């Protein structure tokens, strides 16, 4: 492995005079050193030459203004530039994507994938004395995902690793499961989840199948920084091997999901009463969800225009289940086919979107909070029966993130289930499961078991055998819940209304502000500091009754354990309203979570409209306030 490059100001002498004037100091330095690398490919050199000749300064700044940063979400960036050079296009037709990934230190391409793989490999070699180290690698349907996975596998093999590589695209949760099943040391998932088609990324998992959290991420980041952009895989014959994972590995994953079924009678009822339309949104869920449901005798109708593995996502307005547009075509097809349940998974199938039909209410798209509430209720309700029979000893736990609806807390408390809140991100839910495993190893009498884990962004989990949100499992579990509700004479919408009448009407809204320019990080930092210093008002302009600052204060969860620090603010207001503000860990976004609860009334639809009006008005005030704060 070659040593880390040292950026020297003299390298900028390779740049034309105009570049000295148009580019930031960071971009000039990084680009100058990039051009001085001894192993530039012809595509890299030709692309930079074209960008400079065309004076595409903004594009150059975007590509070379930074090097890829490894955070708790792994790395994620564009793999297709906002402008593609002739060398990158490689003769591709105008309507087709480029044949080669975007050149640049801040882009995801062969050079940055190799660097990340070498750094991660070095981290694992330092972390563990066990040899050989084994790693499972999977990838989704995104552009270049397969080739990046192959490159990562070859790089780790060159370090002497045993690499288990899926031969075709697979969902992220199946990677998590397979790491645990094979007792591997780590895993890599090549994906950018539900991001736009021009993005890609790499998620890192450790031996328990969960994403790395902040401490490990810092270690991996330092290891990557020690690797230079010119680094090549070690030469010579090493003992590493690559082993291919084929379709037969899906069987164990199916069985793990099926072990979460609570009532076979609910599945039988679903066969009779639930007609499913499913869209994989061109993603990896296509390989799992139809077969998973078919194994239970439930056959789904696929949306043809969205059921081919295609990283361009050509038939999709949005590949994010949080976006109602992602299910629009599936709902149209369901209406034509008289189906009553629409399911959709994002490209790496870790999130589930759903829409349901009620004869009196028509079609409704469920929010992530509503899906979580339905699954949490069903699992709490049915496991309570088994607990009463003594079949499930130990402490039942429901895990939710701090920005997920408190309806889950009300449900858990009603059934005597401990509700434990974590920071935002499913990795923290997985970390609690790892902690429970450690506690049980020390004291077998202290067994804490997962009833349900959920987050508002359409992620959920119901088994410890997978330590990542699982859209495939959620699809089967929502069908089971729908079957159980049908057996009680209700649709899922009717069941949701039942929850509102029992626990109160919970309304939530997520608003996101995005700044992709170079000043974005500083703007988010300044805005968060402003809200910390001068708290915002509530729905009626009233001041908060409680302010919680998770960035500077200590907070403990329901297990009595200290939460990690995070730049996250939460404000509670009189009248059961709450506002949470946080910066995304994987995207240039600031997120505002608005919550309001009121007692249910006879006319839930009218109450729903009033709550929507209240949250809309509140957000309008907050949005205006954001502009004022940034202008100061």
Establish how many alpha carbons lie within 13 A of residue 501's alpha carbon, considering only the half-sphere containing its beta carbon: 11
Q: Categorize the per-residue pLDDT at 13 as very low, low, confident or very high, splitting at 50, 70 and 90.
A: low
Q: Is the pLDDT of residue 102 over 70?
A: yes
Residues 364 and 469 grouped into a single domain: yes
**CATH number, domain at 578?**
3.30.310.50
Residue 3 belongs to a domain: no
pTM of the entire structure? 0.94
Can you tell me the distance from the alpha carbon of 315 to that of 401, in angstroms, rounded to the nearest whole number?
32
> What integer is the mean pLDDT of 411-425?
97
Q: How far is CA 223 from CA 66, 218, 563, in A?
A: 17, 9, 26
Residue 4 belongs to a domain: no
Residue 46 belongs to a domain: yes
**CATH number, domain at 318?**
3.40.120.10
- pLDDT value, residue 531: 96
Residues 471 and 522 grouped into a single domain: no
Of the residues 246, 278, 303, which one is the last residue of a structural domain? 246
Average pLDDT of the chain is 93
Establish how many alpha carbons lie within 13 A of residue 509's alpha carbon, considering only the half-sphere containing its beta carbon: 20
Whether omega for the bond prior to residue 454 falls within 30 degrees of 0, making it cis, is no
- pLDDT value, residue 548: 97
- List, for residues 16-28, the tens digit of each pLDDT value: 888 888 999 999 9
Number of domains in the chain: 3
Cα dihedral across residues 462, 468, 474, 475: positive or negative: negative
- pLDDT value, residue 129: 84
Q: Is the pLDDT of residue 429 over 90?
A: yes
Angle 103-105-110 (CA atoms, 0-180°, nearest 5)? 55
- List, for residues 512-528, the tens digit of each pLDDT value: 998 877 677 888 889 99
- pLDDT value, residue 11: 61
> What integer is the mean pLDDT of 522-537?
92
> What integer is the mean pLDDT of 441-454?
96
Residues 313 and 421 grouped into a single domain: yes
Angle 527-531-537 (CA atoms, 0-180°, nearest 5)? 130
Residues 370 and 261 grouped into a single domain: yes
Residue 510 belongs to a domain: yes
Residues 495 and 510 grouped into a single domain: no
Residue 131 belongs to a domain: yes
Q: Pairing mode, if any, of strands 448-455 and 505-514? A: unpaired
Residues 482 and 616 grouped into a single domain: no
Residues 561 and 584 grouped into a single domain: yes
Q: Quick one: which H or E segment has residue 34?
A: helix 25-35
Return the percentage of the chain with pLDDT > 90, whole number.
Answer: 84
Q: Is the pLDDT of residue 3 over 70?
A: no
Residues 386 and 412 grouped into a single domain: yes
Residues 327 and 380 grouped into a single domain: yes
Q: How far is CA 257 from the centre of its chain?
A: 20
Q: How far is CA 511 from the centre of its chain?
A: 17
> What integer is the mean pLDDT of 317-327?
92
Of the residues 246, 281, 309, which one is the last residue of a structural domain? 246
Residue 74 belongs to a domain: yes
Can you tell me the distance from the alpha carbon of 398 to that of 376, in angstroms, rounded to the nearest whole number?
8
Residue 2 belongs to a domain: no
Can you tell me the distance from the alpha carbon of 438 to that of 447, in angstroms, rounded to the nearest whole number?
10
Q: Report which of residues 518 and 606 the model is more confident about.
A: 606
Q: Are 242 and 49 in contact (CB under 8 A)?
A: no
What is the Rg, in whole angstroms, of the alpha carbon atoms belonging to the chain? 25
Residue 511 belongs to a domain: yes
Q: Is the pLDDT of residue 10 over 50?
A: no
Residues 457 and 532 grouped into a single domain: no
- pLDDT value, residue 364: 96
Of the residues 246, 278, 312, which one is the last residue of a structural domain? 246
Return the percentage of the chain with pLDDT > 70, whole number.
Answer: 97
> What integer is the mean pLDDT of 452-478?
97
Task: Please give the residue range of the domain that contains residue 470.
Answer: 249-499
Can you tell me the distance from the alpha carbon of 102 to that of 29, in angstroms, rounded to the nearest whole number?
19
Q: Is the pLDDT of residue 488 over 60?
A: yes
Residues 561 and 615 grouped into a single domain: yes
Summarize the chain as % helix, strand, coil (round to 5): 40, 20, 40
Burial class (CB within 10 angstroms; exposed 0-12, middle 13-18, buried 19+) of 61: buried
Residues 539 and 467 grouped into a single domain: no
State the catalytic residue, choosing from 117, 134, 145, 193. Answer: 193
The helix/strand/coil state of 308 is coil
Instruction: Name the DSSP letter for residue 94.
Output: T
> What integer is the mean pLDDT of 457-465?
96
Angle 188-191-196 (CA atoms, 0-180°, nearest 5)? 165
193 is catalytic: yes
């Amino acid at each position: 492995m070659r040593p880390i490059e040292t950026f020297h100001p003299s390298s900028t002498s390779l740049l034309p005079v105009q570049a000295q004037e148009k580019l930031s100091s960071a971009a000039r330095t990084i680009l100058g050193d990039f051009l001085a690398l001894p192993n530039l490919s012809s595509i890299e050199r030709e692309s930079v030459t074209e960008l400079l000749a065309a004076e595409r300064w903004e594009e150059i700044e975007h590509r070379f203004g930074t090097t890829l940063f490894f955070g708790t979400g792994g790395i994620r960036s564009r793999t297709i530039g906002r402008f593609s050079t002739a060398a990158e296009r490689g003769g591709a037709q105008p309507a087709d994507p480029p044949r080669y990934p975007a050149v640049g230190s801040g882009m995801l391409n062969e050079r940055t994938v190799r660097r990340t793989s070498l750094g991660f490999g070095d981290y694992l070699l330092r972390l563990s004395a066990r040899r050989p180290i084994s790693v499972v690698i999977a990838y989704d349907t995104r552009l270049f995902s397969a080739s990046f996975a192959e490159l990562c596998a070859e790089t780790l093999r060159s370090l002497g690793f045993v690499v288990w590589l899926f031969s075709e695209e697979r969902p992220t949760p199946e990677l998590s499961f397979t790491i645990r099943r094979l007792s591997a040391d780590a895993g890599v998932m090549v994906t950018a989840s539900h991001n736009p088609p021009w993005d890609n990324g790499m998620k890192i998992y450790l031996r328990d199948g969960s994403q790395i959290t902040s401490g490990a991420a810092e270690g991996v980041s330092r290891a990557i920084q020690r690797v230079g952009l010119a680094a090549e895989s070690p030469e010579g014959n090493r003992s590493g091997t690559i082993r291919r994972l084929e379709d037969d590995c899906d069987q164990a994953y199916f069985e793990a999901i099926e072990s979460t079924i609570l009532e076979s009678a609910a599945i039988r009822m679903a066969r009779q009463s639930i007609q499913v339309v499913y869209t994989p949104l061109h993603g990896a869920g296509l390989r799992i969800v139809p077969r998973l449901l078919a194994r239970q005798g439930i056959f789904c109708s696929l949306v043809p225009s969205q059921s081919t593995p295609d990283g361009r996502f050509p038939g999709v307005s949005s590949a994010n289940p949080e976006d109602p547009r992602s299910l629009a075509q599936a709902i149209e097809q369901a209406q034509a086919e008289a189906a009553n349940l629409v399911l959709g998974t994002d490209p790496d199938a870790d999130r589930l979107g759903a829409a349901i039909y009620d004869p009196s209410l028509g079609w409704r798209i469920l929010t992530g909070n509503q899906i979580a509430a339905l699954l949490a209720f069903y699992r709490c309700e049915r496991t309570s029966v088994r607990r009463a029979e003594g079949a499930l000893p130990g402490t039942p736990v429901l895990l939710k993130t701090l920005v997920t609806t408190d309806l889950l807390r009300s449900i858990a408390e009603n059934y005597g289930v401990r509700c434990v809140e974590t920071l935002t991100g499913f990795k923290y839910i997985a970390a609690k499961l790892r902690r429970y495993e450690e506690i049980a190893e020390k004291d077998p009498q202290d067994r804490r078991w997962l009833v349900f884990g959920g987050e508002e962004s359409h992620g959920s989990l119901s088994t410890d055998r997978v330590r990542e949100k699982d859209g495939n499992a959620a699809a089967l579990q929502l069908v089971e819940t729908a079957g159980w509700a049908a057996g009680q004479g209700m649709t899922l919408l009717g069941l949701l209304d039942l929850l509102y009448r029992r626990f109160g009407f919970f309304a939530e809204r997520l608003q996101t502000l995005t700044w992709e320019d170079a000043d974005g990080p500083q703007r988010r930092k300044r805005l968060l500091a402003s809200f910390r210093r001068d708290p915002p008002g509530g729905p009626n302009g009233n001041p908060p009754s409680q302010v919680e600052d998770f960035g500077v204060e200590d907070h403990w969860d329901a297990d009595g354990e200290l939460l990690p620090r995070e730049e996250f603010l939460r404000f509670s207001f009189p009248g059961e309203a709450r506002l949470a503000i946080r910066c995304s860990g994987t995207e240039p976004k600031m997120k505002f979570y608005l919550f309001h609860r009121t007692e249910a009334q006879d006319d839930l639809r009218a109450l729903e409209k009033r709550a929507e009006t209240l949250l809309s008005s509140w957000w309008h005030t907050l949005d205006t306030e954001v502009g004022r704060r940034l202008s100061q």
